Structure 1
């Protein structure tokens, strides 16, 4: 009987000692194998650290995806340029109606029409002028005179509306005339002709003959000297 009691006491003491050792070693975080319980606890600690590492990488991946999506949205919002149509005639390889983007110049129209012909008089045309939707541009040939057309009265359109800008009868279209044609008007020299062209390129076509008064160097007296010789 005493032997049984002694054995029981020994077992209890051993179990108590194991519990004390486990309670001392486990909080310290040392990798010490203490029975089966300590060995089983070690993988659990590694698993916690791995899981934390995985969670740390997740937000970074998500952030990269959001950045790529933002770039795509910016590209999709770019506005498309408005199309304009111009009728080009005269000394070009392929005269006719051409389509360009808003803001194109006369030189772009010539290029779209296949380029200028060998005998084109490009010096008579303002190649840098910004085009207007629906206009007609005529590229004259060397030595060519303006085509015959009825004389246009003040405030009316000159026939053809082309880059030549001068109709039969001496009426000059102030919206399309080149510098040389503007200089045929009384009181208009190269400098004033240049200011007229610069004004219409910056502000668009003249809407009336009186709008010429907005050009520096043109007053009532100068305008009255050639009013009956210009049109729009």
Structure 2
């Protein structure tokens, strides 16, 4: 009888011990898992915060760079040029420093059909506030010197830097004189064929259409020698 009681008590003690051991192990595993999850979440939150901070700094730096670059471009690298005359879209255009007349014409849509594009120096460098005037064919025939002055050409650019000999000049050479078109050039040639050489430059006023107004424009550009 006593032995049976002892066995029962021993079994009871063992069961209680097993239950306590299981509870202890379960409790330990739960705490370990909770710490791991908490640490992992905390690390993820920190990494996300660092990433957002880095992206924000990068975006700010990029925006500042664009702003500074745009300001430099506007203030230091651009010039304003007025393009008018025989171009498709006359107006004021912003061009980069060092641009040429050809760049201004291209910005204005190119030349029209009536433009005398070969008359102007398209390789000339532009300056801020400069005007580029593209004449038409008729203007070039009638007053080439006036158009050169409107475009700001100096004597080095003038077609008439050498005097025109009215006793020897061809029709094309005579047409480079201001106010002398094709018709007047033909009359000059006809006059010298009929009357011989011009004795003086004033004699050119004997030709119809060449009076004091035209003569005053060409007297310093012609010679009889």
TM-score, structure 1 normalization: 0.46
Instruction: Kindly indicate which of the two structures has a greater share of residues assigned to helix.
Output: 2
